[in-house]
Structures are given as C-alpha cells and as structure tokens.
Amino acid sequence: MQISGSLFPFLLFLAFILISGASSAHNKNDFLECLNLQFQKSNSESDSIYTPQNVSYSSVLQSSIRNLRPASNSGQRPFVIITPEHESQIQAAIYCSKKHGIQLKVRSGGHDYEGLSYISETPFVIVDMRNLRSISIDTEKNTAWVQTGATLGELYYTIAEKSKTLAFTAGVCPTVGVGGHFSGGGYGMMSRKHGIAADHIIDAKLIDANGQIHDRESMGEDLFWAIRGGGGTSFGIVVAFKVKLIVIPETVTVFNVTRTLDQNATQIVHRWQYVADKIDENLLLRLFLRSINSSNGKRTIGAFFTSLYLGPVDDLLPIMQEKFPELGLVKEDCTEMPWIESTLFFAGFQGESPDVLLNRTQVSMSYFKGKSDYVKQPIPEYGLESIWKFLNQEDVNRAELQFSPYGGIIDDISESEIPFPHRSGNIFMIHYGVGWSQEENAESRRHINWIRRLYNFMARYVSKSPRAAYFNYRDLDIGMNNIKGNTSYRQASVWGFKYFNNNFRRLVHIKNKVDPTNFFRNEQSVPPVSVW
C-alpha cells in the first residue's frame, strides 16, 4: 500500500504525539515509584503524596489558589502534589524530579499573581509547604525562625502572643505565604519606618538542587543575598527564614478617610504626592483609588487614605496639620489600638478576634489581573483626571489603584544591599488591579485589555529605563522565559531588569553557580548565565 505525500507528514506527527504521550506517562509512573521508594528509605508516610486518584487531590490543589485566572487558562494540572512534613520529603521530591526530568514547583501561600506556583505548560509536580509552618519566637534576642509554609497572619498572631512591643514589617493580607513574600521583598504598613521584610532576614535554611541543606554560613553570602528579594524559587527551596523582629510602641493609631471628587479628591491626591514620601517616617499614608457611587447615586472617584502611625493620636494630629492639612484629618477619624489589632484593621477584620489571622482560607477566590509601577515625579492633576476616566470605564468597585508611599528608611538603604532595588528616588509604588467573578469570566479579555491600556497610558508618568516593577506583583506581560527550552540572558533581561535593575546581572551569576542546569525554573525565574 502506498502512502500519499500529503498523508505521510500527518502520520509522522501522529506517531510523535503517541510516543510523547507514552513517554510522559512512563516518566510520571517512574517518578511516583521513585518518590515512594525515597519516602520508604526515610521512613516517611506516603499520605503526604496526592495524585488525581486521591479523593483529597482537588481540595488540596484548590485550597491555596487565590487567583482563578491563571488556572483557567492552563491546560496542565500537577500530576502529584507533595505536602512535606519533613525536609527529607523535599529532598526526595528534588531527587526524583531531577532523575526523571519532571518540573518541580513550590507553593507557600498561593498568592502568585500569575499562578506560577501551581500551573505549568509542561508536566509538573507541586511541593506545597503548608505543613512546614512552625514559628519560634526569641523575645530576648528579638528574633524569630519562621518556616516558609506559614502565613503572615500566623506570624503576626504568634508574635503578639509573646509580646506587646514586638512586631514584624511585612504585608497586610494575612493569608499570604511567608516563602514567596519574604523572598520577593515584602512591603507593608511599617516599611517607611522599618523597611521591607527581606531587609530583616538574618539567616535561612535552604535545600539546593542537589538536595543539600544549607544555612547562611554553608550557602555563602552570594546565595544568601539572592534569596532576600531575588525570589527564592530560582535558587532552591527555602524551608525557613530567621528574621529580626522590630520594636514598636504599645499603642499605634490608624485611620481610613475617604474623599470624593466633590470633596476635592483630585487636588488632595495631587498634594499627597508631595507629602507621602517625606512626612514623618512613623506614618505611612497609603492611598486606594476606586470608581464608586456617591450618596446621590452618581459615579465619582473615591480616594481612601488608609494609614498607620506608630504612636498615639495626639502625636499624629500635629504632624498631619502641619504637613498635610488638605486632608482635614480630625481626632474622630482616628483609632488607637495595639499593633496586632491594626493588622486586623488593614485586613478588613476590624473588631474581630485575632484568631481570624490563623484562618488560612479566609480570602475568597476570584479572577484577577494585577500590574505595578514606580513613580519618581508627581503625576499632574490632568494626569490624575485621565486616570479617573479609566476607572469609570469599569464597573463600580471593580478596579483599583493603590499608591504605596516610599521614603523614610527605604531611601537610606542601598539598592544593591539586597536584590530589591526600589530605594531612593521613588515617591510611591502603583498597584493596578481589576477583578471579576466566575460568571463574568467570559468577558475576561475585556478586563485584561482595560488594565493593559491603562498601563500603557501610564508610561509617561512612571519610571523609565527600566520601567520598574515589584516582583511580588508578578506580571507576565512584561516578559517571560521559554519554559520548554533554553532562555537567553537577553530574553530574561527584558523582565529581569524591571524587577531587579542592575542587581539582575549578579542574580544571573549566582544562579549559574548554584543551579547551572536550571532545575529550579519557571516563566520568570532567573536563568543561568551559561545561556546568553
């Protein structure tokens, strides 16, 4: 029988698909056999291994997914989820992944904006750190060891149990995982006074691509530098961080004051840009901007000034009256409380018990797209008015811009001290966000196009060469690696310099030294320097 010339290429392609599928299934089975064998050798229980055949597989996978958008666009689900309770189980996962050519992903809290900790275009497994979340506080030395499966809420709760005057500077969302947050920077409501989370890391425990366990001394200062702001999962699996806690007053003051366009919001926001990075470093004036309905039912812009002052209200008011009288803050707007209650206030749980911080699943899942920018010169009033027009193109309360002020101690730290480069010269960071429900997901493209158009418009008002971005607000729009092949330095530098500026070069050289085969990789992981 003769095969026509037009049919022959198709048959070759079909044969390739069948062989590839069989090879993939073979690798998966071999991986599972390897993993079970390694667990047996270390006397580990296999109930930390979940496959799609397990009844609990879906609930384990979905329990730490905070953004449904990436998962809805991914054709792959992990064929194994490992929830280690011991370091030996992580070593087993690394060993078997390397041996059988399976991509390994690490998930701490599941808040990655692009879902890179739980999706992939190639067959993969997840090491989910949820069971490695112990926290040990030393109140005499003001330090803490925190395993990377812990959440910020668990850390804050544990510190407050031990002391009324110790705290830690990190983000406001209680369900965010320590692993990703600390290793990517960790901005929060005390950052102008105390810096970011990564500034306070003084030791770490990391498992490298060879399965070796290191502390700061054995990993060396280069690798220790890299995992404090350069993203830990490019270099290994960080099991725990040791951090220096900060000393705070027993009483702090919070307020959330709203101004609309009828209340001169445009002029007040414009003035805020000249104040927020220069005001007393004990005060962080964060600003949220949304399109809302006014009391008369008409659309307007709401500017929400959400702030923390490390001290009593009687010390705060004179500062505000001198430096930012335009806001018109009065004592009745303010509430004094212990620091731990302020974490509830900023997380939207004011008045609730601190026990809510221990709830790892309190954040509802939604579809979301986020982006970020840094502002070095104030945006003029006509620029703000153009932003208002963009916000009004989306439904009420669907889209939001956050203006997070810098200055204070952030300015005093060199941009090369750790990989996080966003230091002196930045007035504030912008976070752009738009969300929608599952019922509205058919129109996801419209919302994503909206935020991209706004981002393109904002180019005239934000940092340039590079246009900087915050690593913890991951955004694949700014560039990504070729996950199925080699990524060149030139390709990776498209996004790398935006997150890390000139620190990216050093990160690449460290990657080449500690993981030259690029075992730890994702769509925005640091590539080894050997691929230029």
Amino acid identity of residue 39, one-letter, is F
- Give the whole-angstrom CA distance, residue 222 versus residue 214: 13
Strand partners for 25: none
Tokens of 342: 């302020």
For residue 165, what are the contacts with CB-CB under 8 A and spacing of at least 6?
247, 248, 249, 250
Contact 113, 370 (CB under 8 A): yes
- Give the whole-angstrom CA distance, residue 191 versus residue 181: 14
Q: Catalytic one among 309, 367, 374, 473?
A: 473
Q: Find the angle CA(28)-CA(34)-CA(39) to the nearest 5 degrees.
A: 125
- For 346, list phi and psi in degrees, rounded to 5: -75, -20
For residue 78, what are the contacts with CB-CB under 8 A and spacing of at least 6?
61, 105, 118, 120, 124, 125, 126
Tokens of 374: 């840094």
- Give the whole-angstrom CA distance, residue 5 versus residue 27: 34
**3-state percent helix, strand, coil for the chain, nearest multiple of 5:** 40, 20, 40
Verify whether residue 473 is a known catalytic residue: yes
- Give the whole-angstrom CA distance, residue 65 versus residue 107: 10
Q: Point out the residues that are catalytic.
A: 473
